[in-house]
Amino acid sequence: MSQNADFIHAAPLWPHGDCSLMHLVRRAGQHSTTCWSQCVDTGLSAVQYAILVVLAEESRCDQQTLGSRAGFDKATGTYLIDRMSKSGLISVEIDPANRRRKQVSMTAQGEAMLNRMTEQAKSAEKMIAARLDKQDIADLKRLLSKLGGVQEPENHATADEP
């Protein structure tokens, strides 16, 4: 039996000989979703949480900027914005200067939800990084940012990070 019984041996997904990047990224995404669902009991997704975080920082922004900052595409954004608006977490108004653009802001209910979720989201972050040391976390963030085309701020670490 292996010394690392908690690690699952990953089978190659493609005939490259070693475990494929696509397979590992998918497994990491699955682990992320599991950590989120075990720690966050609000019924909101990590992307919906990201929307609330961006709106807490920006106060009001257009849907395109929100998508860029929170990491979702236009089609997904339309669905998420509509759903969050119907549940009272955000408000959406047509920009009077450009009627094709929607301005999004967080409601008091959204702010209360963000406050409720913050500690839960931090717990999910700690859970996902449980097997990693600080250097692993820094390397993983750098590589995932590069892979996802995300430009991270120069110093984005916080004191609460594992």
Of the candidate CATH numbers 1.10.1040.10, 1.10.10.10, 2.160.10.10, 3.40.50.300, the domain formed by 21-139 belongs to 1.10.10.10
Quick one: residue 44, left, alpha or beta (phi over 0 = left, psi -120 to 50 = alpha)? Answer: beta
Tens of pLDDT, residues 153-162? 555 544 444 4
Tens of pLDDT, residues 16-69? 556 778 888 888 999 999 999 999 999 999 999 999 999 999 989 999 999 999
| Domain residue ranges of the chain, discontinuous segments joined by + | 21-139
